[in-house]
């Protein structure tokens, strides 16, 4: 009753200012607020709660809420008791049951079909059907609300430059305690650029990635025209060139594909790939080259299996195989590392076949925003014995040719990435990018950090000190924002205290994981109609997908099969020996004979 009274009070307060009564976010537990003139009602349908503000739990909801452990408790259990988890990981039905729960409990937090976009704070056909918008988990704060966060905080948000300078900018490099490396940092950037493609000409609410998911348009191009320009039109392959006996992407001149390069970059270094911005840094072009090689390697295998197939079918099937490889690597290598879990994650679409699950996805604006992990970046990039600052590294594909893919993989695996949470770890080189992230969030009128915590089933922070875990930054933040319920989403994610020994704070994980897993498992290839050997060219193609890993991707396509992982080696020699001894991959030249040919075939 006390809680209900508080919400009624704030609703009256809002109305007294002539504002929308829903500005105070009176409806709790995912209830939907609707206005009727000068009053509001909460639609509590299927929330498991009832009452004026959806605050009274139904009986079974009460039991569920009472018994459900806090996210911090679940995280502790999954990251400790390694011996117990080693046993569970080897008992198939237990591992499958836990993985099924992980997938369903996370993905069901994402609205599907989508609900809102940045121009509509209510459900309508335009918000649902217009794929040029990012979708939204929470509707934007109303223009008629008293403050930028609804009713809480000050009437103006603090200067974005000031927020970055005081709370986000790096004083001294803070390495990630989980041992995340630069190989991970570039994978994150490379992978997400296929669906985080903001249409800057139209505004932060719009995306150019019409696929809204893992479709590998960063390899094959967003448009059909770009795809055909990149294709060799023989044996399903993509165009390539051979330099010093190794395969690299073709040039812009040889493809007539538009790429973003400054005028001073010479023609022979203007490599052309699916994503137009991947010439920005050699780390992105490194991954683009590896996936180019993998596509053409898979095409060689399919040609042997199906000599009767034409170029188009080989190409299309190879693309499906690479999508499957990507999802498996992201879940079992990438997400596995990020989670820090002792429980071994598993990519198995069949786990969801009997569950309520929709095989579609829309990229949310909030997901795009929270993924701005600029603290991962180091102060300089180290490749073998050479160190590059940002000015030397940007738009410099000569690094790729000078060092080679093998040396880059080995060096990036050894170099530490930065911790993302905890504040004050964004490198000065991307200062303007961090400012732009805050300004775009304000353009989108995101609700507060606490509103997102409540939407994703976390308790709201009670104070700035609880948010940051310390006194200095929390006191300064309180002066600037005035109220913890007015704390912005993006700065809040970066200043939140990290979990013990972890790269992220609780909010980043509990928001990010549902978006990620829904987007991965909602892919068409994970559906019962697609997930079968024939989709991938038979058992051989299906096996490529089901046995994919980061290390195998590297060994199949990079000379000398350098050890790689998403974490820095703890014991260089022993860990490297274990990996290489367990690899069944043939040397690169044997796996892909086209790399030996002295052939040169005539886009972020």
Please identify every residue annotated as catalytic.
Answer: 193, 371
Cα torsion 408, 413, 416, 417: sign: positive
Consecutive H or E run containing 95:
helix 92-107
Cα torsion 263, 264, 268, 274: sign: negative
- β-pairing, 49-50 vs 381-383, is unpaired
- β-pairing, 381-383 vs 386-388, is antiparallel
Strand boundaries in 268-419, DSSP class E: 381-383, 386-388
* Of the candidates 440, 491, 492, 362, the residue with the CA atom closest to the CA atom of residue 140: 440
Q: Which residues contact 181 (CB under 8 A, 6 or more apart)?
A: 412, 413, 414, 415, 416, 417, 565, 566, 567, 568
**Helix (H/G/I), strand (E/B), else coil: 589:** helix
Q: Quote the radius of gyration of the chain (alpha carbons, Å).
A: 25
d(CA 342, CA 339): 9
Consecutive H or E run containing 383:
strand 381-383
Per the CB < 8 A criterion, the answer to whether 456 and 194 are in contact is: no
Using the 8-state DSSP alphabet, how is residue 70 labeled?
P
d(CA 355, CA 530): 16
Angle between helices 539-546 and 311-329 (to 10 degrees): 30
d(CA 151, CA 555): 56
Per the CB < 8 A criterion, the answer to whether 359 and 132 are in contact is: no
Per the CB < 8 A criterion, the answer to whether 239 and 601 are in contact is: yes
* Of the candidates 170, 240, 109, 588, the residue with the CA atom closest to the CA atom of residue 380: 170
* Residue 480, both tokens: 């600037």
* Residue 572, both tokens: 């260089």
Tokens 């007539």 sit on residue? 256
Per the CB < 8 A criterion, the answer to whether 494 and 423 are in contact is: yes
Per the CB < 8 A criterion, the answer to whether 16 and 153 are in contact is: no
**C-alpha 395 chain-centroid distance:** 24
Per the CB < 8 A criterion, the answer to whether 548 and 556 are in contact is: no
d(CA 458, CA 475): 23
Backbone angles phi, psi at 348, to 5 degrees: -150, 95
């Amino acid at each position: 009753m006390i809680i209900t009274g508080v919400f009624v009070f704030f609703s009256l307060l809002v109305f007294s200012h002539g504002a929308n009564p829903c500005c105070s976010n009176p409806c709790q537990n995912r209830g939907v607020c609707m206005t009727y003139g000068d009053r509001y009602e909460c639609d509590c349908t299927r929330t498991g709660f009832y009452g004026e503000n959806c605050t009274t739990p139904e009986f079974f909801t009460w039991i569920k809420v009472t018994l459900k452990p806090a996210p911090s408790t679940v995280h502790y259990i999954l990251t400790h008791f390694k011996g117990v988890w080693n046993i569970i990981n080897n008992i198939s039905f237990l591992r499958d049951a836990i993985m099924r729960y992980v997938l369903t409990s996370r993905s069901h937090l994402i609205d599907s079909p989508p609900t809102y976009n940045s121009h509509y704070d209510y459900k309508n056909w335009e918000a649902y059907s217009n794929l040029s918008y990012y979708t939204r988990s929470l509707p934007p704060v109303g223009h008629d609300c008293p403050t930028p966060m609804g009713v809480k905080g000050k009437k103006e948000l603090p200067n974005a430059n000031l927020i970055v300078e005081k709370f986000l900018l790096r004083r001294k490099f803070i390495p990630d305690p989980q041992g995340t490396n630069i190989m991970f940092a570039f994978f994150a950037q490379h992978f997400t650029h296929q669906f985080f493609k903001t249409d800057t000409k139209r505004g932060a609410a719009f995306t150019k990635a019409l696929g809204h998911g893992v479709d590998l348009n960063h390899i094959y191009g967003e448009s059909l025209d770009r795809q055909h320009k990149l294709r060799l039109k023989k044996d399903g392959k993509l165009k390539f060139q051979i330099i010093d006996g190794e395969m690299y992407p073709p040039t812009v001149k040889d493809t007539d594909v538009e790429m973003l390069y400054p005028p001073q970059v010479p023609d022979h270094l203007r490599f052309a790939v699916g994503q137009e911005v991947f010439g920005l840094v050699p780390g992105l072009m490194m991954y683009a080259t590896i996936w180019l090689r993998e596509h053409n390697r898979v095409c060689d295998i399919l040609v042997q299996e199906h000599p009767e197939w034409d170029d188009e079918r080989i190409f299309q099937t190879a693309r499906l195989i690479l999508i499957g490889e990507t999802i498996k690597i992201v879940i079992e290598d990438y997400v596995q590392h990020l989670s820090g879990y002792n429980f071994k994650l598993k990519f198995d679409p069949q786990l969801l076949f009997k569950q309520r699950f929709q095989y579609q996805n829309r990229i949310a604006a909030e997901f795009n925003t929270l993924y701005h992990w600029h603290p991962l970046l180091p102060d300089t990039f180290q490749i073998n014995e050479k160190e590059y600052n940002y000015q030397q590294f940007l738009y410099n594909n000569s690094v790729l040719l000078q060092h080679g893919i093998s040396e880059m993989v080995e060096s990036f695996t050894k170099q530490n990435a930065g911790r993302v949470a905890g504040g004050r770890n964004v490198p000065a080189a991307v200062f303007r990018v961090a400012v732009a992230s805050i300004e775009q969030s304000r353009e989108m009128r995101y609700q507060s950090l606490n509103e997102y915590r409540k939407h994703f089933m976390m308790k709201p922070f009670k104070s700035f000190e609880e948010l940051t875990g310390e006194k200095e930054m929390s006191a300064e933040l309180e002066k600037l924002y005035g109220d913890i319920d007015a704390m912005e989403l993006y700065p809040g994610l970066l200043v939140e205290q990290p979990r013990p020994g972890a790269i992220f704070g609780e909010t980043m994980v509990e928001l990010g994981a549902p978006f990620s897993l829904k987007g991965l498992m909602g892919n068409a290839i994970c559906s019962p109609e697609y997930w079968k050997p024939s989709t991938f060219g038979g058992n051989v193609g299906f096996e490529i997908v089901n046995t994919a890993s980061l290390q195998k991707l590297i060994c199949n396509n990079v000379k000398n099969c350098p050890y790689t992982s998403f974490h820095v080696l703890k014991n260089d020699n022993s860990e490297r020996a274990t990996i290489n001894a367990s690899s069944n991959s043939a040397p690169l030249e044997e796996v892909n004979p086209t790399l030996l040919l002295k052939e040169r075939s005539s886009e972020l």
